[in-house]
Structure 1
């Protein structure tokens, strides 16, 4: 790639208001990338789904505090933090989750435009989430996403049990699993990780961002902004197109 990030070491600079770049020299060419991977909660969509489900159980403050600490990277064991949060969802109905999906979940600004632009350039799209298939399946269908990986909430008699279901690839989609899925998808497509873009906002996105050719932080936690090649601190997801042509 002509703009290989590793070949340019520079201080972070404000490329445009609310758009910070480091270790890249724009403009980058979309033709150099074949895959874009997105986190879902607070990246592609406007909410943290686990927090909104917890609202139905009257436990939003408790769950949100754990989520926030996990996203800042203050909880070293992400899997355990998610198990703790999901346990607090016990007894929430599927109807309540459907209400969250219907009334609260929205795509973040610029999501449709960015995904459409990447697809038009021939990129495949991957959604990797520490959230749940109940929501990722909806977003997948909405944006015609090619590949997804996320967690399955266990449901019995229309109610959450407070547990998750193990899947063939493992138990929980954490940061390490996001990284594995990105690399696995690159391998499946016959491309190098340097031909992938990874976008996220929380600490559990850092492993996949570290192996991608281009890493993008979207309204992210400080630790994530510091490590990303592009940090979108104002405006929509499609602001990455200011750097990527």
Structure 2
């Protein structure tokens, strides 16, 4: 079979009848559907198919499954395992938006979070929104950065994602519109090879309200993907990107597998692959990794 539809759910959320309904739905559209292959019991399975486009397979499966919290990723069977992972940080590798959390120490979290929300949904220019939000924090003690880091949580599955891909020879990097103060620490904790982000300027122990140039934005994320792929002598088809915001969309669309992870509506609607229910191990299942192959964080 030339295509694979991967069904992924939170642990215990996927059952044999789900696979049977999906297989029947594909067959009803004239597809050849193979035997399901469990990657993780009650959590993830592959369903090989042919004679149907990936988007048609996903639409048919979604109609068959209704509102069940099951993620669906369809792609060519060949070349599923990727050699480069490029991941957004905020609300992707970590559960929070770190700039919003810094703003809490200035009493501005709700105000800044609303600008963040609009920017990540593509309603505002990312560069200008970043400059505006950081400018509002001028004079805030740099201690707020450390306190924010202490409260920052890794997204479930992030450590396993990086550890497993590294164990199989992939290069793993963070690319973020956030700040080096955080991306460096996240990279160290989870084992990313590299991190690329913005610099939050500090002077005399306080935030200056400025961001170092050049600012890493949507275009820079795509450029980073292309540069790393070239440096590693990889085609873009061998790359995996993941993110949630509008500034991630260009790199999601350019990668061999670009996954919108619990993404903003504009991103979820435009991305070819999305994960709304499972954790970040879903990106491993999408590559065909079995539960026994997944490394501990």
TM-score, structure 2 length as denominator? 0.74
The yes-or-no answer on 1:106 pairing with 2:156 is no
How far 1:70 sits from its partner (Å)?
0.5
How far 1:241 sits from its partner (Å)?
2.3
Query: Counterpart of 2:141?
Result: 93
Q: Distance in 2 between matches of 1:222 and 1:19?
A: 16
Rg larger for: 2
The yes-or-no answer on 1:232 pairing with 2:280 is no
Number of residue-to-residue matches in the alignment = 234
1:164-222, Cα deviation, whole Å (9 max, x unpaired)? 112xxxx1111100000110111111111111001000110001111101011111112
Query: Counterpart of 1:162?
Result: 209
Contact 1:53 1:92 in 2 (8 A): no
1:100-150, Cα deviation, whole Å (9 max, x unpaired)? 101x21110110111111111211001000000000010111112112110
1:61-84, Cα deviation, whole Å (9 max, x unpaired)? 110000000111111x21001000
The yes-or-no answer on 1:29 pairing with 2:74 is no
Structure 1 gaps, min length 5: none
Contact 1:26 1:244 in 2 (8 A): no
The yes-or-no answer on 1:18 pairing with 2:67 is no
Q: What aligned pairs does 1:1-245 form with structure 2 within 5 A after superposition?
A: 8-11=53-56, 12=58, 13-14=61-62, 17-22=69-74, 24-25=75-76, 29-30=80-81, 33-75=82-124, 77-102=125-150, 104-166=151-213, 171-245=214-288
Structure 2 gaps, min length 5: 5-51, 289-297
SS in 2 for 1:51: helix
Q: Distance in 2 between matches of 1:72 and 1:216?
A: 16
Q: Distance in 1 between matches of 2:185 and 2:232?
A: 24
Query: Relative contact order: is structure 1 or structure 2 higher (C-alpha 8 Å, sep ≥ 6)?
Result: 1
SS in 1 for 2:174: strand
Contact 1:26 1:243 in 2 (8 A): no
How far 1:243 sits from its partner (Å)?
2.2
SS in 1 for 2:183: helix
Of residues 90-99 and 172-181 in structure 1, the stretch that sits farther from structure 2 once superposed is: 90-99
Q: Distance in 1 between matches of 2:243 and 2:175?
A: 10
SS in 1 for 2:181: helix
How far 1:26 sits from its partner (Å)?
5.7
Q: Distance in 2 between matches of 1:186 and 1:27?
A: 19
Q: Distance in 2 between matches of 1:56 and 1:92?
A: 8
How far 1:9 sits from its partner (Å)?
4.4
Distance 1:151 1:127, change over 3 A: same
How far 1:93 sits from its partner (Å)?
1.4
TM-score, structure 1 length as denominator? 0.89
Contact 1:109 1:235 in 2 (8 A): no
Q: Distance in 1 between matches of 2:93 and 2:234?
A: 24
Of residues 224-233 and 36-45 in structure 1, the stretch that sits farther from structure 2 once superposed is: 224-233
Distance 1:221 1:26, change over 3 A: farther
SS in 1 for 2:258: strand
